[in-house]
Amino acid sequence: MSAAEDRLAELGLSVPDVAKPVAAYVPAVVSGDLVFTSGQLPVRNGELLATGKVGGEVSPEQAAACAQQCALNAIAAVKSMVGDLDKVVQVVKVVAFVASTPDFTGQPQVANGASELFGTVFGDAGVHARSAVGVPVLPLDAPVEVEVVVRMAP
């Protein structure tokens, strides 16, 4: 087990199976020393953790937990490409899409659910650039979707 997986285990978490895409794409691709994940939904055991809009049916706290699950799913997609998470040398960019009501402005705090997990799991290599974007709707009525770019060791 990698050091990253050991840190996940300390949190009571583990790398899940790679989530099955909901359309015609793959979970991740490698280009040079970068791994680009597709947008990851908050799916656990084949089920969305929540549906609806943040600021409406979904609380900010629930949405942050969804962002964390999205991050776990992104980690699974990365691991499927690199084999060993210790090969990750930098989480370069995280983009969090938050399906929210028009008056909700807490997208950055929701995205922290993902960002904080990357920091805990990868340490200094988990520090990243980020965008947190409010959108009207996401696939399957998910409240959050997260995509990641990581750099891996040669």
What pLDDT score does 20 carry? Answer: 83
pLDDT cut 90: percent of the chain above it: 95
Q: What local confidence, expressed as pLDDT, does residue 120 receive?
A: 96
Which residues of the chain, if any, have pLDDT below 70? none
> What is the structure's pLDDT at 41?
97
pLDDT for position 43: 97
Q: Domains of the chain, with CATH numbers?
A: 3-152 (3.30.1330.40)
Q: pLDDT at position 61, please? A: 98
What three-state secondary structure class fits 82?
A: helix
pLDDT of residue 121: 96
Enclosing H/E stretch for 72: helix 60-82
Taking the CA atoms of 121, 124, 125 and 131 in sequence, report the sign of the dihedral they define: positive
pLDDT, residue 1, reads 78
Which pair of tokens denotes residue 117? 């997990």
* pLDDT for position 22: 86
**24-49 per-residue burial string, b: 16 or more CB within 10 A, e: under 16:** eeebbeeeeeebbbbbbbbbeeeebb
Read off the pLDDT of residues 22-39 as tens digits, 9 standing for 90 and up.
899 999 999 999 999 999
